[in-house]
Structure 1
Amino acid sequence: MGSLVYAKECRDRGEYIVAMLWLETIGYYCDEPGSQKCPFPLNLAYPLTGNFIGFISNLSSGNLLRQAIASFRSHSQFPSEGAIVPHLLPGIGWSDGRSFWQQDYPAIMITDTAPFRYAYYHTIEDTPDKINDDRLARVVAGIERVVADLVKVKN
């Protein structure tokens, strides 16, 4: 776990980290109703169509989540959803961000929620032709503005 080693070293050095944003699959979107399969209890509150980008945090990163999603929505006309969830829900603590949470750094995952909408996730059929280039570009442009806004807020 390189991210855990790095986050621990940052903490040991007393480094101030404004935000850790991790992108966890951001290129697959589907407008078909029922294409999104969120785990309980998120399925009670979030869309059943997999055409949005998700911003996910733990409780201690809630302020960062609110700032990031507000920025994204102000700069992008792309559907987005945000959630503060425990890392025990499937998919939440599977990646690098959890290492930063463990070191009490603010971190959010930005994701298309692949395991919950993308049948080819981590299979041999997971090929570049499945990426929606236009939507991916729009998401990346929105994230670029989020980063710029976070830098302005913290300086």
Structure 2
Amino acid sequence: GIFYPKVGNFIGFVSNVQSRALLRRVVALFRKYAQIPSEGAALPAFIPGVSWSDQWSFWRYGYPGIMVTDTAPFRYPHYHSSSDTPDKLDYDRFTLVVSGMEKVIEDLDKS
């Protein structure tokens, strides 16, 4: 890509504009706790890809929500195909993301 590499080396956090406060908080916490690069964007929901996941169901009823993504649909040729097999996953990076998100969720739960 023009702005980002073809290999997923960061985690993306995407929200609609109404969820931007939650997005900013989650991205800040993730950067505090996780050892993997991240990007965040609050975007209008009509942009393709912004509402492609479960957060849309929350937005529909007025709840804030964010999508945490490795942007695989845009950069991973095996995404949602029969060739998307466990041997292609980067378990070390996956562990970094899960560990970081665990701490983010714990922090959110305290408030």
State the TM-score, normalizing by the size of structure 1. 0.67
Q: Unpaired runs of 5+ in structure 1?
A: 1-36, 38-42
Runs of 4+ deviating beyond 6 Å: none
> What residue number does 1:69 align with?
27
2:90 is the counterpart of 1:140: no
Structure 2 distance, partners of 1:147, 1:89, is: 27
- Give the fraction of aligned pairs with identical amino acids, expressed as a percent: 54
Alpha-carbon deviations, 1:89-130, whole Å to 9, x = none? 222212221010011101000010111110011111011111
Amino acid at match of 1:47: Y
CA RMSD of aligned residues (A): 1.3
Alpha-carbon deviations, 1:61-84, whole Å to 9, x = none? 000001101001011121000001
SS in structure 2 opposite 1:135? Answer: helix
> What residue number does 2:74 align with?
116
How many residues are aligned here? 110
Structure 1 distance, partners of 2:72, 2:45, is: 17
Work out which of the residue numbers 52, 56, 59 in structure 1 matches 2:14.
Answer: 56
> What residue number does 1:88 align with?
46
**CA positional deviation for 1:47:** 2.5
